[in-house]
A and B are shown apart, each in its own frame.
Chain A
Amino acid sequence: MAGPRNISVSETSRPVLPRHAKLKFDETRQVWVILAPERVLAPDAIAVEVLKLCDGVRSVGAMVDELAAKYAAPREAIATDVVAMLQDLADKGFLTQAREKTS
């Protein structure tokens, strides 16, 4: 089955785009898009940057570390923004939790 709905995003989450949501660069229109059932959405530059990090391996905490280092910004502020954005994307069904892997 697909990942659980209504996931709660925290720094330990490892979010990933579900199979039915695809992030891709639209060459014709020169914009990043999320393709989903019956919908084409255009995430803004920040959302694209964050979504590219959502590989189901990285934790949200690690993503925040990366972004804080890249933009030399206070970690706490970035964490608040990123968790809020990811939670919003998850609520809309564009993110799911990576399933536990038995390694």
Chain B
Amino acid sequence: MSEILADHKTTDPGDGLAALEARRSTAESFGIPLAVLAELTHRCPLQCPYCSNPVELDRAGSELSTEEWKKVLSELAEIGVLQIHFSGGEPTARKDLVELVRHASDVGLYSNLITSAVLLTREKLSALADAGLCHVQISFQGNEPIVADRVAGLEQSHQKKLEAARWTREVDLPLTVNAVMHRQNLHQLSDIIQMAVDLDADRLEVANVQYYGWALKNRAALMPTLAQIEETSRIVEEAQTRLKGILAIDYVVPDYYALRPKKCMGGWGRQFFNISPAGKVLPCHAAESITGLQFESVRSNHSIAWIWQNSEAFNRYRGTAWMPEPCKSCEFREIDFGGCRCQAFALTGDAGNTDPACTLSPKHEEIFRQAECEAAADNNRFIYRNFAGGTLETGGDDGA
């Protein structure tokens, strides 16, 4: 989700290709983003404890209708968006997904499906491919059912994902495997990499959990140890070299163990927005966790372009003018834009503070120690994500 959009890859300009961002920087003009994330629904058969959806989920009754989504897709194409990522929740829980993909194709959008895959059938995939779907990304929770089904909170889910991944390749759609990693599955990383190769995926995202929303609730059960992170980096680097030309591997380092914060969403309101199931236009899919910000809706009288350019929520943390110290005078302020607003809010109570992932944040040391202690305590019980506000895992906590 956020990981995949944070950085469009830069390519050696010597080959006649340049990453569009690099060539036409929208630095201060807030040009319309190239890609937009459409969260069609928050409904999902999985209950992953690190779900990137907000803790306050949108109910089915508040979701945009088929006609509303179609209008949004047309408007996005018209203002210059090139790619649409259909996500959720689980986007295939929407009965109108094929119709929406077809509409995206009709208006010229390149479409990507970000899915848990457990609801997919071969027929559904064929229909999506025929409707013009360009790419499928399937999330995996592990490389075998015991860990994977427990993390997903759904029996048989791993088996269904494997099946759907094979069908994806059979209908000639390119596949990205998204593996969300944390303390309780990092020991499977080598096997997950091999699984992605065996599934004939083009890309693998090794995405360490980002700790806000549901994942923050579950931080003690998910936080990796420093030793695990070091081992992970070693495994990823070795595999990247060995699998060059076979499998591209993107790696997202967990914030808490980084020295500099990530350039979250490429900077607030700079190159990304997403649309929530209920139609809110958001600077990031976790932005609604920041209380006190008002987000405009596609159901309002404003156009999407107006909301992007003029709404208070987008302008609040745009650029560098809003920054307090230590960001304000920091030489990296235009590189990371102060890190993640949602994380700053979750960990310091003020979204305007420096992201504690940064070593320059006064909170960094305390939070890093806390993470280390949680990782060492090894309390493995999950709080599963659901509409009821979360359910504590029952039974033993011997999953790892």
Q: Which residue of A lies closest to B14 (CB)?
A: A88
Q: Is the CB of B80 within 8 A of A26?
A: yes
Complex partner residue of B17 from A19, A35, A37, A92, CB under 8 angstroms: A92
Q: Which residue of B lies closest to A45 (CB)?
A: B16
* A34 contacts the other chain (CB 8 A): yes
Q: Is the CB of B20 within 8 A of A31?
A: yes
Interface string of A26-58 (1 = CB under 8 A from B): 111101011101111111101100000000000
Query: Which residues in B have their C-beta under 8 angstroms from that of A28?
Result: 32, 79-80
Query: Which residues in A have their C-beta under 8 angstroms from that of B34?
Result: 40
* B200 contacts the other chain (CB 8 A): yes
Interface string of A81-94 (1 = CB under 8 A from B): 00001001101111
Assembly CA distance A69 to B135 (angstroms): 38
Complex partner residue of A44 from B4, B18, B79, B200, CB under 8 angstroms: B18
Q: How near does chain B come to A96, taking the closest CB pair, in angstroms? A: 11
Q: Is the CB of B174 within 8 A of A47?
A: no
Query: Which residues in A have their C-beta under 8 angstroms from that of B35?
Result: 38, 40
| Contact A35 B82, CB 8 Å, known A19-B134, A44-B18 | yes
Q: Is the CB of A19 within 8 A of B174?
A: yes
Query: Which residues in B have their C-beta under 8 angstroms from that of A37?
Result: 112, 134-135, 137, 174, 176, 202-203
Q: Is the CB of A42 within 8 A of B172?
A: no
Q: How near does chain A come to B363, taking the closest CB pair, in angstroms? A: 32
| Contact A22 B18, CB 8 Å, known A39-B8, A40-B8 | no
Assembly CA distance A1 to B168 (angstroms): 9
Q: Is the CB of B15 within 8 A of A1?
A: no
Q: Is the CB of A42 within 8 A of B19?
A: yes
Q: Which residue of A lies closest to B203 (CB)?
A: A37
* B71 contacts the other chain (CB 8 A): no
* B170 contacts the other chain (CB 8 A): yes
Query: Which residues in A have their C-beta under 8 angstroms from that of B134?
Result: 19-20, 22, 35, 37
Complex partner residue of B174 from A2, A31, A43, CB under 8 angstroms: A2
Assembly CA distance A91 to B135 (angstroms): 19
Assembly CA distance A31 to B22 (angstroms): 14
Q: How near does chain B come to A19, taking the closest CB pair, in angstroms? A: 6
Interface centre among B15, B24, B112, B245 (most CB of A within 10 A): B15
Q: Which residue of B lies closest to A18 (CB)?
A: B174
* A6 contacts the other chain (CB 8 A): yes
Interface centre among B16, B18, B174 (most CB of A within 10 A): B16
Q: Is the CB of A38 within 8 A of B4?
A: yes
Q: Is the CB of B110 within 8 A of A38?
A: no
| Contact A85 B82, CB 8 Å, known A18-B174, A93-B202 | no
Query: Which residues in B have their C-beta under 8 angstroms from that of A18?
Result: 174
Q: Is the CB of A1 within 8 A of B170?
A: yes
Assembly CA distance A22 to B133 (angstroms): 12
| CB-CB nearest 5 A-B residue pairs | A28-B80, A47-B16, A35-B110, A20-B174, A37-B135
Residues of B within 8 A of A (CB): 4-5, 8-9, 11, 15-21, 23-24, 31-32, 34-35, 79-80, 82-83, 108, 110, 112, 134-135, 137, 169-170, 172-174, 176, 200, 202-203, 245-246
Identify 20 new A-B residue pairs, CB closer than 8 A, beyond the known A1-B169, A19-B174, A47-B16: A1-B172, A2-B169, A18-B174, A20-B134, A20-B174, A22-B110, A28-B79, A29-B20, A37-B112, A37-B134, A40-B20, A40-B35, A40-B82, A41-B17, A42-B20, A43-B17, A44-B16, A85-B16, A88-B16, A91-B245
